[in-house]
């Protein structure tokens, strides 16, 4: 078993499980050749044992494009299903909005972090975003400040729609990566308008399709997306196990 302060790796010479420590959880990645669910279950059990030997903790395992048939592997390894992320898609363009937004600049960092962390205080990844984590995101190749749209009202940052463009798919697709309204400005219908503003920016880049990820239990957001014509195309499902 190879170990580092933020990483564990277990291999039998054929299959490998990699665990990365992020936000007080061990993210589990399975590297299995072929389609062998028994070997995947064995690797999840090995991951659990590795964390137990490393003073315990919480393990988190994701299945992309999950189906009911794919659930049995983590469940058989002692994991519990706790979260679904829905992928929603819709064609572009979308209806116009009269919202006046502008591009992000580095001078907006503090205001963005304040609004983001207030709006996402419930979210396991987007909430409590630190300046260091945000700086890492801004250094990603896909980051484009022009596609990071900010809405100001009365000289305050009221909300944002952060977009990105995926060029690694068969047909480039635009994503609404993160969107939020400061709680002080809730109840004004700004969420819907920010979605449309972000979709409009993506359409102006020549894109013809858009997508986003949303928590399955975020009823308010899902009502907005449903009314705007988004359709669910897949589910990413998360499982967890806590060991001591």
**Both tokens assigned to 231:** 């359709």
Closest CA to 34 of 26, 43, 22, 25: 43
In angstroms, the first-to-last Cα distance of the chain is: 19
Range 162-183 average pLDDT: 94
**CATH assignment of 2-84+237-243, among 3.40.630.30, 3.90.180.10, 2.60.40.10, 3.20.130.10:** 3.40.630.30
Residue 1 has pLDDT above 70, yes or no: no
Confidence of residue 127 (pLDDT cuts 50, 70, 90): confident
Instruction: Please provide the DSSP assignment of 90-137 as one string.
Output: EES---------EE--GGGHHHHHHHHHHHTTT-TTTTT--HHHHHHH
* Coil vs helix vs strand at 35: coil
Q: Where are the domains of the chain?
A: 2-84+237-243, 93-207
Of residues 5 and 187, the one with the higher pLDDT is 187
Tell me the average pLDDT of the chain. Answer: 94
Distance CA 160, CA 151 (A): 6
Range 7-32 average pLDDT: 92
What are the backbone angles phi and psi of residue 79, rounded to the nearest 5°? -90, 160
What are the backbone angles phi and psi of residue 37, rounded to the nearest 5°? -70, -30
The distance between the two most distant Cα atoms of the chain, rounded to a whole number of Å, is 61
Closest CA to 19 of 36, 44, 42: 44
Predicted TM-score (pTM) of this structure: 0.91
Confidence of residue 5 (pLDDT cuts 50, 70, 90): low
Helices (H) and strands (E) in the chain, counts: 6, 12
The pLDDT tens digits of the residues spanning 70-95 come to 999 999 999 999 999 999 999 999 99
Domain spanning 93-207 has what CATH number? Answer: 3.40.630.30
């Amino acid at each position: 078993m190879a170990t580092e302060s933020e990483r564990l790796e277990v291999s039998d010479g054929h299959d490998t499980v990699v665990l990365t420590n992020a936000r007080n959880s061990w993210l589990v990645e399975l590297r299995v050749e072929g389609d062998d669910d028994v070997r995947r279950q064995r690797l999840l059990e090995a991951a659990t044992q590795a964390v137990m030997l490393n003073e315990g903790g919480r393990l988190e395992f994701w299945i992309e494009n999950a189906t009911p048939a794919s659930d049995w592997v983590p469940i058989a390894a002692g994991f519990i299903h706790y979260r679904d992320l829905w992928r929603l898609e819709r064609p572009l363009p979308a209806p116009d909005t009269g919202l006046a937004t502008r591009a992000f600049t580095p001078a907006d960092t503090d205001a963005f972090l304040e609004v983001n962390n207030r709006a996402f205080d419930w979210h396991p990844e987007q909430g409590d975003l630190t300046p260091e984590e945000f700086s890492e995101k801004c250094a990603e190749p896909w980051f484009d400040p022009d596609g990071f749209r900010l809405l100001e009202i009365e000289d305050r940052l009221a909300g944002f729609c952060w977009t990105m463009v995926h060029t690694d798919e068969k047909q480039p697709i635009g994503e609404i990566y993160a969107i939020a309204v400061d709680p002080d400005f809730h109840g004004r219908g700004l969420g819907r308008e920010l979605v449309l503003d972000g979709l409009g920016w993506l359409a102006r880049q020549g894109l013809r399709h858009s997508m986003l990820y949303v928590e399955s239990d975020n009823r308010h957001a899902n009502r907005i997306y449903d009314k705007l014509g988004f359709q669910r195309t897949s589910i990413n499902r998360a499982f967890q196990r806590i060991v001591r």
